[in-house]
Structure formats: C-alpha cells, structure tokens
Chain A
Amino acid sequence: MSYISLSDADRKAMLTAVGIASVDELFCCIPDQVRLKRDLDLPPPMAEPDLLRFFQRIAARNQAPDTLSFLGAGAYPHFIPYVVDYLSSRGEFISPYTPYQPEVSQGTLQVIFEYQTLICQLTGLEIANASLYEGASAAAEAVLMAHRLKNKPKVLIAGATHPEYRRVVGTYVKDLPVRLEEIGHDAGGGLDLDDLERRIDAETSAVVCQSPNFLGIVENLDRIGALAHAHQALFVVIVAEAASLGILESPGSSGADIVAGEGQSFGLPLGFGGPYLGFMSCRKEFVRQFPGRIAGEAKDVEGRRGFVLTLSTREQHIRREKATSNICSNQAWCALRAAIYLETLGRQGLRQMARQNIQKAYYALDKLTEIPGVSRKFSGPIFNEFVLDFVGRWPEVESHLRQRGVVAGLDLEPDYPGLKGCALVCVTEVHRKEDIDRLAGLVREALR
C-alpha cells in the first residue's frame, strides 16, 4: 500500500515533461558506490486490516486497559472530557505545519495565545511560551535560562525533584560550565532549608525545586524563594503534576522567577510517556532569554486583531548558534489539547478536580496507614501522592497486588536507596472509593 496519487499516465507525462525516460535518471547525482542495490530487508507490506490486527495484538500484550493502578510519579491518570478528543482530532488541527504563515494559521496561533494565557494564569507569571517537549527537558531549559541570566557556576536542585528530570538536567549541563548540587529533604519530606542555607552562596545562579515534589510533598515555596532571592539567585519551580495548579497557590505568587513543568495532566493520555507537554513561564523582564516559540498579538493592514509567532530573534532560525535554545518543533498539538481541556474544565471544574485529588489521596492515605505495618513516611502536606513505608515488606505487597491485577505504586529504592521498603502511591479523581478500599484490603491481606 502507498499513499501516492500519480496515475500511470501522470507519471509518464511528467517524465516526458522533465525530459527523462526513467525516474532513475533523477538519481544520477548519487555516486554508484553508495547506491543501495537491493531491496531493504523489511516485512512485506501490510494492508489496513492486517495492520490493525497486528497492532491490536501488540497492544493486547500490555496490561489490560482497566488495570487498577496507583502509579503517578510524573505521569498521572486523569479523566479527559470527550470534547478534548473530539476537537483535537480535527484534521485542521492535526495536519498543519508550524504557523509560519500567520494569515493561514490563525486557528493554531490563537490557540497558542490562549494556551500561553492559561499557563500564565495557572503559574502566576507574566509570560509563557508555546510549549517545550515535556517536563524534564523543560526543567533543563529553565536551568540553562537561569544560568544565562546569572552566569554563575552553581545550580542547586532539590533531590526530591523527579529523578528523571534531574538526570535530564544533568545531561544538558554536562558540557557547560555549570555545577549541579543536590539539596536533601527533611523529615517532613520537603526541601531541607538548613542544607540549602549551607550551600547557597554568591556563586549560585539558581535554586531549583519541584512542588509537589517527587515524594508527594507540597513545598514551602515562599521560604525557599526568599532564601534564593536573599542570595541574588533565581528561583526556578518545577511542576510535574500540573493539576495541583488548579488549587494550590501559584508558584509565581510565591516568588518563582521561572516555572517549568509537565502538562500531561491537562488532557493528555498516559500513552507510555508521550507525547506530553513541557510548559514554561517566567517574569516579563527575562523575555530575551526565554526559549521556544511565542505567539503574540498583531494587527493586519485593516487594523483587525490577529496572532503571529513573535520575538523570533531569540530563535535558532534567525540567531543560529546564539539562539536561546535549539528547539524548533515543539508540542503544539499537545498544547491544543491542554487548552481545550482547561477551557472545558473552566474555573470551577479545574478546582473541583484538583480538590477531589486532595480528598481522595487523603482518604487513601488514612485507609492505608490504618493497616499494621504501613506508615506514612513524611509528615508534610500532600496533593495526590504520598510515600508509604512498608518496613521492608514492599516486595511482598507489590507482588501480592500485582498477581491480583493491581499496581500499587512505585518502588522508591532504586532512586532513593535511603527509602528502602517505601513506595510512592498516587490517587486522583479517577479512583473511586471502591478502588481505594480494594487497594487497602489487598495490602492488609498481603501483610497478614
């Protein structure tokens, strides 16, 4: 099967027009030694019914779609209103290119403009970009941006930032004059302010912390931000669970200079990790160092409002190696889904959703910690995730539940050896009371 539209007669007429007998002549510029003189060794072509069957079988080798799971850790199960799928699947949204020609791309551009506004409202900062790849590389872009602004060698990052985000940041700064140091957490699970105070100095470009952090704890951003600013460092806040922005105080109002995060919770399916949505916002004064595309308002020759990609002198296609980032394609369609999701949930719906996350997580925490042998690891306030200590018996619990088709949570030991026997459990609005009760029942059974 191919998707080619030339008839035999068309092909012939075109060859004649070009003045050649065979299409091979067009490849004459390729030296003979490098030409492939055989067919690629690929499976035979599949017609649509076979293709569909092939993928249905592969997809069926994954866990059943209705498996009860309490995994979060940077990828969150949230309910997606059907209008998000319905509207975002329109060909006019899926199949255009980047809106370089604004006169024929007003749909995409206005959506980006609205998306930027929504991100600003949620994060409490003045400007937002059109999207980045996902949370981890957005965090890396934020660190690079802070370093460009301050040009000091040290960046302090909370150890309770998502481990994969920390690794990506580490990869991005490895060949640059940036020294990354990790700040530990305290008994409450939040950033250890004493440790931060000991390490922060005049050589520090930025303090980076995630909230809610990877251990589920909502950080005291006001205090961390104040400490950062007292040392003329920038305060970078990472948000891996964007749903929290629906009810928690915005990072911007707690002193964040740059916010970067993962927007998957806004209408994107788990999808084994992607495509997701990196979002980023900052204070207006930093705009010249801001990475990525930005849509802005413009007027046409008749004075009507329209939208364009703007401030492109920051970008690689103009500035080349001096650009603020190398990013070109971003996640425009994912940003569209986020815009549809957020506008559909609206002011009340978003808050209602976020509030249910808190209440359900708290109910689950309560239920689970009633079980002998299970305790809450950290005392700090939570949004929709928490760490449970199974005192060494996590492997039994995990396997007992998995055999019964339940994924109980994430083992923290590989990333935090100090948290051996502990697991991260996530509960959102998609979990019903009966699901949580079932989880608690099975854990109790496993530990009996």
Chain B
Amino acid sequence: MSREPLIFERSAPGKRAFNLPAIDVPENPAALAGLPLREEIAGFPQVSEIEVVRHFTRLSQSNFCIDTNFYPLGSCTMKYNPKINEKIAALAGFLGSHPLAPAGLVQGNLEVLKTLEDLLVEITGMDAFTLQPAAGAHGELTGMMLIRACLSDRGQPRRVVLIPDSAHGTNPSSAHLCGFRVQETRSNERGTIDLAGLESQMTEDVAALMITNPNTLGVFESDILGAVEIVHAKGGLVYMDGANMNALIGKIRPGDMGIDVMHLNLHKTFSTPHGGGGPGAGPVGVKSGLIPYLPVPVVRKTAGGLALDYDRPKSIGRVRSFHGNFLVLVKALAYILTHGAAGLREIAETAVLNANYIRKSLEGIYHLKYPAPSLHECVFSDKYQKERGVQNVDIAKRLIDYGLHPPTMSFPLIVPGALMIEPTETEGKADLDEFIQAMTAIAREAAETPDIVRSAPHNSYVRRLDETAAARNPVLRWEGRE
C-alpha cells in the first residue's frame, strides 16, 4: 500500500476545491474598517477537489472498522450501526433546526427528546433523565455534580467517593474533577465488591459508591443489594456506570436495584456509531429525589405543546451548550423503536451467549484470572504466553495479521496483562469462530515461534509504531514550511 502524504505536502499555490457565488451585496470598505485582518494563513492547504477526495478515501482505507470486520474491543460494545439511523438523523427537518429557535418551531425535536427520555426511564427503572451530557465521562461528571448538589442541599457536603479497583479510569477522574476525594475499594477473589471492606470504608463522609455493573470483568455484582444497603444506611448514594448495559437490557433495571444515579453510553448499548472516538452521548438517569438538581433546560409538556423549562432553582446548571448531541440522540431513539421490548432483551441474551461461547472456547488456552461466571465480556490474560516472552500487546498486534481487531488491553488493572473481549450480539458464529481460531493459532505460535508474535504486525499499513519515542519527542502538528 502506498503511503498517503499529509495534505499540507500536496498543497501548492493556485489550486482550490471550493468557490462561493460572487458576492451579491455592494462591498463596502467601511465593513472592514477597525477589524484586525490577518495575512494569508501560511501553510494552510491549497488543493483541488479530487485531491481532497482521494486523500480522505485513501486514509479511510487504512482504518479498521465495524463495517468490514469483527471488533472484539472489551468495554466498548462495538456492535453493528444500523444504516437507516444515519438517514433518519440526516432528515432536513432535524439538520436545519437552530438550537435557539423558539419552541414553537422545534416541536419535533422536543418530541424526540421527550420520547427518548421516557423510554430510557422505562428501560432503566430510573425516574428521570437528562440528555445533555455529550459522552459517558461527561455523564459521570454530571452524575457526581448531581450527587454533590443533593447532599449539599441536605446539609451534608461529603468529601469522599468510593470506587472499586476494577473501575474504568474515567470514574476516579470524573469524581475528582467534581472536587471529591477518591478512595479505592479492593475487589474480592471473585473480582466483585467485598461487602466487609465496603462496610469498613463506608463512613458519613462518603458521598457515593461508584460502581459498574456488570463490572469490568463482565461479572455481575451479585451482592449489589447488600452494597446498596450499606451505602444507603450511612446516607450515601449509589452511582452506576452504565457502560455495560448491553448485558442487562430487558433483563434487569438498575433503578430496581436501588441505584440512585446512572449514565448510559448511547454509543455503546444503543449503537450510535463511534466515529473513530466520538461523538457519543451519555444521558444521566436519576431517582426522584435528585430530579430537582438536573441540568437545565428540561422538556415539559404544557397546554401549548412541549416547552423548555429553565426555571429550576436547584439545578446544577448547564454541563453543555444547547441540547446535547441531538443527532446522536435521534439515532438512539430510532434504535430503541426498531427493537421493542423483546428485541432489546434478545440483544442482552445474544451478547452474553456470544461472550460465553468465546470464553468457553479459549479457556485453558488463555489464562482466566477470575473464573466467576461472566456476562457480555470476558477478561483473559497473557499469563501462559508470558512464559515464552509473549505479552498481551504482542497477541493483540498479531491478531491484526489475521485481519482482526485486537481486544482491549491492560484493563481492568486488577488483571495483569489483560485481554478483554466483548463480541456484542451482532456477530455471527462464523465470525466468532474465526476469532477463536486466530486466538488459538496465536497461542500456538507463542509457544512454537514466539518471534513471529513479538514482531507483529507484519501485514499492516504500518508496522509496530514506537509510541515511547513519540511521547519523548512529541511532534503534534505538521511543521513543514512551504
């Protein structure tokens, strides 16, 4: 494959890919008077349209993506993204509407928001949702702010948030950003919450327990009711990271387990495309006691139609401008409406079956640190392969040679050398088998010809990249000159 240069390296004076109609108002020199105008922007690209098209088309071809292949990236829920949802989100009535247009001109949009809120309430068993957060971590931050506001209002400005050692890095980071001190809780030998440990750490300075369920091992926190009771008894709240809802949808509802605040990742469970790292959406659900603190505005039914309510004195305020990643919300709503109740439950059941099929097929070939039954994902480690000097990163890179995307690596932190595999419900048996065969073959290579694995990938667009050197001498932009 030939290497695609940077667009700046193709640029040359006199080329252009765009023109506007000639200006149709009289130009007035006074318009520019007093404005600090810049010179031409040095280095800014000048290319033709075909150059732009070939540039981005070629770049796209060096990407792995869900439309072409299996993506077993644990905790990321890389399921198929239905195409019709793209068409729906691109309807002119949605695309052209201004976020500050009077409510009477955006009744359709408000209906999307209200309908999605109501459906998420039913799906999760929470009492209300805000759709404003733009991503999962943004939802976590919003949830922490809600908890802080609620407790402060009760006259209990608590300082600590308890987070299991298996948690995703955004959890401690979000709690910290909200001014909380993070205290880690140790997992037990099953990899789940240790109730005795929790009890000893749960003081009246603890604002919340922040958990993921099923946790990052894919294991359901079966002591959840006990944990909730311990936290509630001391006046704390329980936050649930809903990143793994794909395992539970239609099977259980977090609201029924005593969860007070949670977020969903619409770009995971509800299949809005990941886009190479966003946009996502991270709606936050709360129980009734926390409704007064939700971000403004809130969509309300009134006699004159749907309206935006800004008059909420206890609200934490805004966490984002306008109404969240609206077009992403449209896609998630379309996804829910396509499935209905039985369809959503089938998602969870199939995702869990697929993950357990992989787990069963690779057990013994790869080390499974935590043997507890798992749901939608399974976490192996490189323990067996390390004996031959082959690490998880090598296994991951070797998978690329087999045409497959690597699993999530080195997470959760409680599994050294982790390989975290989440197949999702949309993969068929043939694709799962292909992955299992590749993983089996790599294990054999690690034993017989470890160098092949250690030096992988061999057939990719670029070979293994030196990330350490890149961080030591960072080049973060094109620095060439014309």
Contact = CB atoms under 8 A, between A and B. Distances in A.
A3 B123 CA distance: 19
Interface in B79-122: 79-82, 84, 86-88, 91-102, 105-109, 111-112, 119, 122
B321 A134 contact: yes
B451 to A, nearest CB: 13
Interface size class of B (residues with CB under 8 A): 35 or more
A104 B397 CA distance: 9
Interface in B20-68: 20, 23-28, 30-38, 40-47, 49, 52-53, 55-57, 59-68
B372 A329 contact: no
B52 A83 contact: yes
Interface stretch (A95-103, A196-204, A226-234): A95-103
Contacts of B271: 3
Interface stretch (A38-46, A368-376, A387-395): A38-46
A437 B358 CA distance: 66
A323 B169 contact: yes
A328 B341 CA distance: 31
Interface stretch (B196-204, B346-354, B442-450): B346-354
B417 interface: no
B304 interface: no
Interface size class of A (residues with CB under 8 A): 35 or more
B134 interface: yes
Contact of A275 (B84, B134, B136, B319): B134
B383 interface: no
Contact of B34 (A116, A117, A381): A381
A1 B339 contact: yes
Contact of A114 (B8, B170, B330, B405): B8
A236 interface: no
Given A135-B321, A305-B3, A313-B471, A248 B476 contact: no
A250 B429 contact: no
Contacts, number: 660
Contacts of A96: 63-66, 71, 274-276
Contacts of B471: 296, 310-313
B411 interface: yes
Interface in B446-482: 455, 457, 460-467, 469-471, 474-478
A274 B340 contact: no
Contacts of A360: 23, 25
Interface in B236-286: 250-253, 256-257, 265, 267, 271, 273-280
B469 A93 contact: no
A52 B478 CA distance: 44
Contacts of B20: 79, 349, 352-353, 356, 429
Contacts of A170: 317
A381 B37 CA distance: 12
Contact of B321 (A81, A113, A165): A165
B319 A362 contact: no
Interface in A311-356: 311-313, 315-323, 325-334, 336, 340, 342-353, 356
10 contacts: A17-B360, A58-B111, A81-B17, A81-B18, A95-B275, A99-B277, A102-B465, A171-B295, A298-B470, A300-B466
Given A23-B353, A51-B88, A99-B276, 20 more contacts: A3-B80, A23-B349, A23-B350, A56-B91, A81-B17, A93-B275, A100-B408, A137-B319, A170-B317, A174-B316, A174-B317, A269-B96, A275-B279, A275-B326, A295-B476, A306-B462, A346-B18, A347-B40, A359-B27, A360-B23
